[in-house]
């Protein structure tokens, strides 16, 4: 479905989630992100760039390879727990497309 641009779609989605989370909870003034959230965003984009599955990647929650460090994994979980239900009302297309893509792309190991 989105396999051709999966990584870019994931980057867009995680950016919106972190932006929404940071704006509502950290209230940054002169930037869309506080330093902590900007670091998480940069880290998540690097992880997506280095994903072994690339455009065949499963949803991170379905993946057998956990590429996030434990502290960053907890941070992104917190962001997703907060943002997903709220983004469903504000940016439903992102959440719905993310869910659909997760249903169609369930690989848990690298294909050869």
Instruction: Tell me what the mean pLDDT of segment 97-107 comes to.
Output: 66
Pair 101, 57: CB distance under 8 Å: no
Confidence of residue 104 (pLDDT cuts 50, 70, 90): low
Average pLDDT, the chain: 82
Confidence of residue 85 (pLDDT cuts 50, 70, 90): confident
Using CA atoms, how far apart are residues 18 and 77, in angstroms rounded to an integer?
Answer: 11
User: What are the pLDDT digits (tens) for 15-68?
Assistant: 999 998 998 888 877 888 999 999 999 999 999 999 888 888 777 777 788 889
Identify which has the larger pLDDT, 60 or 69. 69
Q: What are phi and psi of 65, to 5 degrees?
A: -100, 115
pLDDT score recorded for residue 105 = 59
Single pTM value for the model: 0.79
DSSP state of 42: H
pLDDT score recorded for residue 6 = 82
């Amino acid at each position: 479905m989105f396999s051709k641009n999966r990584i870019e779609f994931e980057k867009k989605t995680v950016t919106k989630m972190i932006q929404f989370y940071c704006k509502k909870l950290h209230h940054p003034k002169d930037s869309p992100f506080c330093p902590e959230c900007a670091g998480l965003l940069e880290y998540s984009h690097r992880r997506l760039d280095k994903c072994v599955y690339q455009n065949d990647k499963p949803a991170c929650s379905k993946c057998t390879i956990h590429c996030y460090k434990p502290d960053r994994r907890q941070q992104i979980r917190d962001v997703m727990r907060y943002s997903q239900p709220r983004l469903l009302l504000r940016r439903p297309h992102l959440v719905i497309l993310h869910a659909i893509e997760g249903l169609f792309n369930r690989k848990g190991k690298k294909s050869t």
